[in-house]
Amino acid sequence: RKEVEQDPGPFNVPEGATVAFNCTYSNSASQSFFWYRQDCRKEPKLLMSVYSSGNEDGRFTAQLNRASQYISLLIRDSKLSDSATYLCVVTPNTGNQFYFGTGTSLTVIP
Amino acid sequence: GAVVSQHPSWVICKSGTSVKIECRSLDFQATTMFWYRQFPKQSLMLMATSNEGSKATYEQGVEKDKFLINHASLTLSTLTVTSAHPEDSSFYICSASPGAGDEQFFGPGTRLTVL
């Protein structure tokens, strides 16, 4: 079983729509969680960390569900510039190993 | 935020030559750096984890004699692709983390094309 699993999509949504991605992880002892964004032919960039209580940054909301072992990313009022691949990242409770999901492709359509 | 640089950003070489890629953390010390490879339309694939002053830890299926990693200081790690072949053509990305469990900061990547 993979450490991290994501629906690869693609998700094609109209401008202004709300879209949500989920990512499941297999190690119940995982400690840190992140969402990264990767544009085509560019390096991944940190979008936001995911905290136990959930956190929001503008139009983006991240949540963690430890009981069901998944994290989610909600994007409200989608913009064309949100089109990218979104990667979830999970780290175990020891060491520096990061486990990446395969990424979810989002295209926001005018 | 923390800045990680990579050099070169683009390299084209003939089959059989070796290519060295540098990864530097510019404004923080990175005990650990990571090397990834990404083929078109695929996810990042971790190649190896590099700790300053010690041997790198390679992922299964990654040849350590083919991909030489040196982490000489807390701000510099190098990846050398030895005797490169066309199948080694890929996007190589490094990342650095200030500490265990902290987010990774990625370099801009190096696009390698082997003719």
pLDDT at B39 over 80: yes
Cβ-Cβ contacts under 8 Å between A and B: the total is: 48
CB A91 within 8 A of CB A31: yes
Inform me whether the C-beta atom of residue A84 falls under 8 Å from chain B C-beta atoms.
no
Distance (Å) from the alpha carbon of A42 to chain B's nearest alpha carbon: 6
Inter-chain CB proximity B46 and A98 less than 8 Å: yes
pLDDT tens for A50-74 read: 988 889 999 999 999 999 999 999 9
Greater model confidence, B114 or B99:
B114
DSSP code at position B99: S
Inform me whether the C-beta atom of residue A97 falls under 8 Å from chain B C-beta atoms.
yes
Q: What is the mean pLDDT of residues A70-79?
A: 97
Conformational region of residue A98, where left means phi above 0, alpha means psi within -120 to 50, and beta covers everything else:
beta
Provide the pLDDT for residue A95.
Answer: 58
pLDDT tens for B74-94 read: 999 999 999 999 999 999 999
Instruction: Give the DSSP letter string of B17-35.
Output: --EEEEEEESSS--SEEEE
Provide the pLDDT for residue A96.
Answer: 62
Greater model confidence, A100 or A75:
A75
pLDDT at A40 over 80: yes
CB A50 within 8 A of CB A34: yes
Inter-chain CB proximity B100 and A49 less than 8 Å: no
Inform me whether the C-beta atom of residue A29 falls under 8 Å from chain B C-beta atoms.
no
